[in-house]
Amino acid sequence: VVVVERAVAPSWAGRPLTAIDIPGVARAMAVSRMGTAQVATPDLVTQDGDVVYLVVAAGHVGEVDKHLAEAGR
């Protein structure tokens, strides 16, 4: 596994952080909001400007990037 840091696109704002997860591939583990990091919780909702930290199965980072880019389309 690898840990990646990604800015959350504005299209994710208002959606549960868990919506970013891809079962068996990636899971959001923390979010940084306005410079303050917090562990991801089931009730956390994404906001514009968030930075998310994900644990990703090796070899699937491209899939995760595509998933993050396609939100709200």
Model confidence pTM above 0.75? yes
Residue 71: its pLDDT value, please?
74
Give the C-alpha separation, 1 to 15, whole Å: 25
Residue 72: its pLDDT value, please?
53
> What would the pLDDT profile of 21-45 be if each residue is shown by its tens digit?
999 999 999 999 999 999 999 999 9
pLDDT above 80 (res 54): yes
Place of tokens 């998933």: 67
Residue 70: its pLDDT value, please?
84
Q: Kindly report the CA angle at 45 between 43 and 48, in degrees rounded to 5?
A: 165
